C-alpha cells in the first residue's frame, strides 16, 4: 500500500491524499515517503498550506475533514480575489462622501459670500 502510494505519487505528480498528509504530520511515513511528500509540498501551495494547518492543529483525529474544509476555503479565497466588488463599492462610497462634503462646503461659501454682499449693500 505504501509502495503503491509512492509510485502513483511520483508518476502522476498529483496532490497526496489527506491521509498521507496526515501520516506525514504524525511521522508515520518512511523516510522515502516523507521525502516524496516534502518534494511535492515544496511545489504545491495548496498542500503546503494544508500541512501548515495540520501541524498547528491539536486534534489530529478530526484533521482529514479540516483539510478538506481548508482547501475549499482556500479555493474560495482565490476565486474571490478575481473580482473584488466589495472593495470597489466601499471605495466609491468614500469618494461619494468626499464629493458631497466638497459640494456642501462650496454651497456654504457661496451662501456666506451672498450674505456678505447682501449686508454690505444695505
Ligand atoms: Zn498538492
> What's the 3-state SS for 89-109?
HHHHHHHHHHHHHHHHHHHHH
Using a CB cutoff of 5 Å, list residues around ligand 1, an ion. Answer: 15, 44, 46-47
Q: 89: which 3 cell numbers?
A: 463599492
Contact predicate 6/32, CB 8 Å:
yes
> Tell me, what's the pLDDT at 60?
54
Average pLDDT over the chain, rounded to an integer? 77
pLDDT digits (tens, 9 = 90+) for 70-109: 777 777 777 766 555 555 556 677 778 888 999 999 999 9
Rounded to the nearest whole angstrom, what is the distance from the C-alpha of residue 71 to the centroid of ligand 1? 10
Rounded to the nearest whole angstrom, what is the distance from the C-alpha of residue 1 to the centroid of ligand 1? 20
Rounded to the nearest whole angstrom, what is the distance from the C-alpha of residue 68 to the centroid of ligand 1? 12
> Tell me, what's the pLDDT at 35?
92
Distance CA 43, CA 38 (A): 9
> Tell me, what's the pLDDT at 104?
94
Amino acid at each position: 500500500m505504501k509502495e503503491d502510494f509512492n509510485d502513483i505519487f511520483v508518476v502522476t505528480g498529483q496532490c497526496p491524499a489527506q491521509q498521507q498528509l496526515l501520516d506525514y504530520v504524525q511521522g508515520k511515513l518512511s523516510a522515502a515517503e516523507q521525502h516524496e511528500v516534502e518534494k511535492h509540498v515544496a511545489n504545491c501551495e495548496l498542500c503546503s498550506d494544508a500541512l501548515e494547518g495540520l501541524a498547528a492543529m491539536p486534534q489530529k483525529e478530526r484533521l482529514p475533514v479540516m483539510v478538506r474544509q481548508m482547501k475549499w476555503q482556500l479555493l474560495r479565497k482565490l476565486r474571490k480575489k478575481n473580482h473584488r466588488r466589495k472593495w470597489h463599492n466601499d471605495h466609491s462610497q468614500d469618494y461619494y462622501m468626499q464629493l458631497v462634503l466638497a459640494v456642501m462646503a462650496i454651497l456654504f461659501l457661496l451662501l456666506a459670500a451672498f450674505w456678505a454682499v447682501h449686508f454690505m449693500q444695505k
